Each structure stands twice: as structure tokens, then as C-alpha cells.
Structure 1
Amino acid sequence: MHIFDRFVLVYVWQMDIRQLRYFTAIFEQRNLSHAASLCGVAQSALSHHLGQLESELGVALFRRQARGMEPTAAGVRLHDHAKRLLRDLALAEQDLKSHRDEVAGEVVLGLSFSAIEGVAVPLMRAMIAEYPKVRLSLFESLSMTAFENLLGGAVDLALAYNPPVDQRVTALPLLEEELFCIGHADLIGDSGAPISFEDFAALPQILLHLGLAARAQIDRPALLQQLRGSAIMELNSVNALRKALVEGIGCVIAPRITVRDLLRTGVLQERPIGGPTLTRRLMLLRLAGRPPTILIEATQALLRRLIRAEVESGAWHARLIDA
């Protein structure tokens, strides 16, 4: 840990929580006037608090510019700590105010695109019906971004595929999905017959961006390396991937859920991949060092129940993993 980070961890516990909120508002607004309005205080008071904070820390947290406030590296580090601390305080307050027969508060979830497709609508409906005093926030991203947002304290829970093993994270496996060759009939045909991995590799392929985003699709390094050598492009957007598939630009190895609607309407076709079955796992993630609140426990249970229902109904083509 950087020496500045160690100092901040001690200092933030001694700091007035109000001062942390002021700093966070300035960081996120990048403008003293806007931050003051958000906090309901005079701009001069906010400027005074910031100057006092910088003096006590002995570092500049912002660069004052004509068009606003630009955080320094120290400011970015402090914001990372402040964001996690303020979220922990909010969760503690919610937990103490909640009763088991009346779950309330805000829960922030980070979901991969496929998880959004699979369970977002049932989740929104169930939250409104079963927990009317809960405010649900959903953030859609690629799996690795959801994982990083969890580590950074931006989300309380994450649904991500094939996340890396990390002692800071508790991972509960929920389901396993088979991967298919998916593309336009002009590229892969419409017979539905199995295709060998070698034949697939000879087709124009599209990959999600290099690194752990691709790992969320295929967690086999040797196969990934082979695909990287022959892929015609890499995309960092599931939306862009779907559009490319519809236009017949290339094909992809993916689960059905990613393009479920396009398969149902016949816009795209699927073919099983011959040989050893390729699969990926969906995990429910939370921070190991943050004890779950009543709200978090209720949300975890709800997610598991809804995902089970989607799989058992056949709406989500996957195999449930009993934990």
C-alpha cells in the first residue's frame, strides 16, 4: 500500500464526515459553485473546508483551473477511500434502521449485459412488489468492469462471469451456460449442426476486448490465444457486438442469453461447438470484508430465487449450480 494511502486510512477515521461529503461533492462536480449548491452551503465555506483539508493532509487535492477543479493523483486516492467509507456508513445506517419485516434503503447492483438480459426485469418487478421501501440502482457493464466497481465500492453486489479469484471478494456460483457459435445464416448456415472449433476458427470472428473481458466469455487461455490470432476485430461493447452479428460482419462464441431475442426471431442462428463443451459461470459477488446487511441478504436471496425461476422455466438456457 502506498504511504499516502496508509496515512489517509488513518486520517479519514478522524475526519469530520461532513468534510468527507464536501470533498466528494467537489470531486464529483468538478466545480466549487455546483458542489456548494449540492451541499447547501456557501461556496466560501466549501473552499475553506477544502483548504483546511489540504493543509492537514499536506498535499494538493485539486488543481484550480479556469474551467473547474481537476483532481490530483492524491485527490483520486482520497476519493477512492472516501467513497468506500461513505458507502459503508450509509449501509450501517440502513441496517440499524431496518427490521427484518421491513427491508428498506438503497442497494446498488453491478450486472453484466447477459445478467441484465436474464434477470433485470423480474428483479425490478419483484423489488417493487416485495420491498417497496428499497431503492434499486442497476449499473450495466462488462463483467470485469462490474468486478472492478465492486472492489472500488461503487456497487454492493455484482453478477459477473468467470471473475478472477480474489481474497477480497466472496463469490457464489449461480449457473453455468454452454457457449455456441452464433452468427448470421449467411456466415454459419441455418442447419443447427455442430461445428468444430477448428472450423469456427476459420470463420470471421469477433471477440470482446482483450483481457478479462474476453475471459468472461471463454475462461480457457489456450483457446482464447488461438481466437485472438484469427479474430477480425475486438469490441468493448455488447451492443456493438450484437449489431455486428446482425449485419453479418462476423460470428462469435457466446451463450444464448446474449442474443436471446435475435435467436427467437431467427435474425441470428446458433450451432453447438463440437468436442469438449465450452461453458462459462455466472457468479454473485460481494466484498468479503463488508458484512452483509439485512438489505444485502434480502437482495442476494431474491436474485438467487429469480435466477432459479428463469432457468427452471426455460427462459434462461443454463444449468443451475447448487451451493
Structure 2
Amino acid sequence: MDIRQLRYFVHIVDCGSLSRAARELYVAQPALSQQIAKLEAEVDRPLLNRSSKGVVPTDNGLALYHHARFMLRQFDQAVEIARGETGPVQGVVTVGLPATTVAAIGLPLVKRLRERFPNILLNVVEGMSGHIGQLMRLGQLDMAVLFSCEPALEAVIEPLMVEELFLILPEESRLVPGGIDHVKLAEAAALPLILPTRDHGLRQRIEAEFENRGLSASVVAQVDSLSLVMDCVHDGMGATIKPMGAIMKESAGGRRFRYLAFRDLVFRRRNFLYTLPPGQLTPAATVVVAELRETVRLLISDKIWPGFEGAFPEPSPFPEAIAS
């Protein structure tokens, strides 16, 4: 078994097709099949189930796939560390960010890295927090921002920031009279709301607050796409409950929204930074971690982010009540 065979195997599983993997790897399909056959002979187990629709890993193949991805990342990081000793910091760094976090921090972070470390290629993976967390556990990310503090395999977790949740509606909306900048939760519950599906942690947090007060939300649409939620809100379909990051990108694009704080509860969401242990971070990833922290600090200190606070004001950095 060698690194090349593992790379071939991982790429085949990612593609779900031998022919497609052969094209992308610029390797003849018979030669690629031969390498996989050698790998299967060495482990004495079938690793792929082949059919007319493509290939999928067997149980043994799936186990090898996850370990191989980790081993390949370690190998590539070792090469980057060796190369980094003789030149500027360089390499590919993968960071997972939820959609609202991308909207708030994505552009400032990318611009800062391009200006200060042009040899670092930042790979941003956007997705729901549950998906991002799973990728982090599988070792496919160097770092991630998540909304809950849960033990993750070989991950270092630290508090990053706290963001307030607001009732968001179009600037000219008549759902709430103009001049009002605070609402009660009962007033929000009575409005037509566009919220994430019930699988989303934020939706669960919102519904828990409503239930605690004997309220029922008037949900007119359930959408897990941030851009579509904001499209629906801007179109006048209803309001939503999101952090400020949801409208920062919208405002830059010329669309105007109102954000109303809640008068009768503290509605906040805590953000945690997950990273691989220091011994597993490449020099490039270490730089990105520092730059991400600094980007957040500057955006908060310059008051570019209304409703955001650095780290946590509570004595304990990991309180039990977390809006995810």
C-alpha cells in the first residue's frame, strides 16, 4: 500500500465512478482498476461495490476511506511544513462556516488573507452547522465556526464571539410600524415568519422560547437557504429571526432591512471556533486561525457588527444554554 494507491482510492470514492476518476486523474481506467485490485488484495477485503451506476465503498472500504483521507491530509501537511521552512507561508487551508457567518466574515477574511498572505489558498466550505460539524469530526476541515460546544474528535474548541438575534424585515415593511426598534416575543410570534426547518438548531431555539411563553409561531415558509430566506423577506412574504450577519451582505448589495431587538428576552447565539490540535495544524492553517480571530476582533471593535460581542461575557466560557 502506498500514498498513490490511497489517493486513487479516495478520489474514486469521492467521484463515485471509476471512469470519472480516471478522467480527472489523467490515468487510464484499466491502470486505475489494477491499482485498486492491488489494494484490495493487500487488505484481503473488497473495498468497492461496482455496478452499472458506479461504485460505492463497502463497509471495509468506507473505514479505509475515512482513515485514508486523514492520512493524506497528514502527509500533505508534512510536505507543506517542510516547504514552508524555505519560503513564505503557503498551502491550502479549509475552513467550514455556516451561511450567516460567511455573510458576516467571509469577504473580510478572504481580503485580509489575500493582502497579507497571498500564497495561502483558502478553501471555504459553507453549510448548515450540523454538516460543518460532521466534516470537522471526519478531519476534512482545518477549522470551523459552530454554534455549540460539543466534544469533537481531536478538536480544540474555544469561544469566538456572541451574536444577538433580531427580528428582521424589509425597511419599508408595514408589519411593524416605523420608528419601533424593539419588539416583544409575542409580537414576533404573531407575524408571518420565514424560519429554518425543524432540523436546524436555530429553529429549535426559537420554538423553545415560544413554547416557554405559551406562544405559537405563525410560520409561512420553512427554508434552510439563507439567500432564499432573505429573498422571501425582501419580497414582503414575512419576517425572520436571524443574527446581523444575515443582512450585512444584503445591505452591501443595496437591499435595506430593519432589525429589531427583543424587549423581553436576551436572544443570543454563541459561536465557537473549532480547530485541529496545534500539532496537526500546518503553518498556513495556524496563520488562518490567527487571522480569523483578528478579523472578528476588528469587526467587533470597529463596531461594524451591531449586536456582536467578542468572546463571552459570562464567567464560564461554555454555558449550557446555547442557541445553535
Alpha-carbon distance change, 181 to 60 in structure 1, aligned in 2, over 3 angstroms = same
Contact 1:167 1:288 in 2 (8 A): no
1:262-273 alignment, distance < 5 Å: 262=250, 267-273=256-262
Corresponding residue for 2:8?
Answer: 22
Alpha-carbon distance change, 283 to 34 in structure 1, aligned in 2, over 3 angstroms = same
Corresponding residue for 1:155?
Answer: 141
The SS at the match of 2:192 is: coil
In 2, Cα distance between the equivalents of 1:77 and 1:262? 42
Whether 1:320 aligns to 2:310 is yes
Whether 1:259 aligns to 2:244 is no
By how many angstroms is 1:199 displaced?
1.7
Structure 2, unaligned runs of 5 or more = 318-324
Corresponding residue for 2:28?
Answer: 42
Corresponding residue for 2:196?
Answer: 208
Whether 1:279 aligns to 2:244 is no
By how many angstroms is 1:207 displaced?
2.0
The SS at the match of 2:174 is: helix
Corresponding residue for 1:91?
Answer: 77
Name the count of aligned residue pairs.
306
TM-score by length of 2: 0.83
Instruction: Write the deviation string for residues 157-184 of structure 1: whole angstroms up to 9, x where unpaired.
Output: 1123x22411433222221111111123
1:157-236 alignment, distance < 5 Å: 157-160=143-146, 162-168=147-153, 169-184=155-170, 185-211=173-199, 213-215=200-202, 219=205, 222-223=208-209, 230-236=218-224
> Identity rate of aligned residues, in percent?
26
In 1, Cα distance between the equivalents of 2:263 and 2:233? 21
Over aligned residues, Cα RMSD in angstroms? Answer: 2.8
Contact 2:189 2:217 in 1 (8 A): no
1:46-195 alignment, distance < 5 Å: 46-99=32-85, 102-160=88-146, 162-168=147-153, 169-184=155-170, 185-195=173-183
Contact 1:203 1:250 in 2 (8 A): yes
Contact 1:187 1:248 in 2 (8 A): no
In 2, Cα distance between the equivalents of 1:306 and 1:282? 14
- Paired letter, 1:138: V
In 2, Cα distance between the equivalents of 1:198 and 1:127? 44
- Paired letter, 1:232: V
By how many angstroms is 1:302 displaced?
0.8
In 2, Cα distance between the equivalents of 1:57 and 1:279? 51
By how many angstroms is 1:40 displaced?
4.2
The worse-fitting range, judged by mean Cα deviation, of 68-77 and 125-134 is: 68-77
The SS at the match of 1:187 is: coil
TM-score by length of 1: 0.83
The SS at the match of 1:232 is: strand
The SS at the match of 1:272 is: strand
Alpha-carbon distance change, 186 to 285 in structure 1, aligned in 2, over 3 angstroms = same
The SS at the match of 1:319 is: strand
In 2, Cα distance between the equivalents of 1:153 and 1:285? 11
By how many angstroms is 1:20 displaced?
0.6
In 2, Cα distance between the equivalents of 1:100 and 1:279? 45
1:246 pairs with 213, 224, 234, which one?
234
Instruction: Write the deviation string for residues 202-246 of structure 1: whole angstroms up to 9, x where unpaired.
Output: 2222222223x334x775773275678653332221111111111
The worse-fitting range, judged by mean Cα deviation, of 31-40 and 312-321 is: 31-40
- Paired letter, 1:284: L
Contact 2:100 2:226 in 1 (8 A): no
Structure 1, unaligned runs of 5 or more = 1-14
Instruction: Write the deviation string for residues 234-289 of structure 1: whole angstroms up to 9, x where unpaired.
Output: 22211111111112222122112211254675732222111222111222211348
Instruction: Write the deviation string for residues 122-141 of structure 1: whole angstroms up to 9, x where unpaired.
Output: 22222222212212111122
- Paired letter, 1:20: L
Contact 1:192 1:270 in 2 (8 A): no
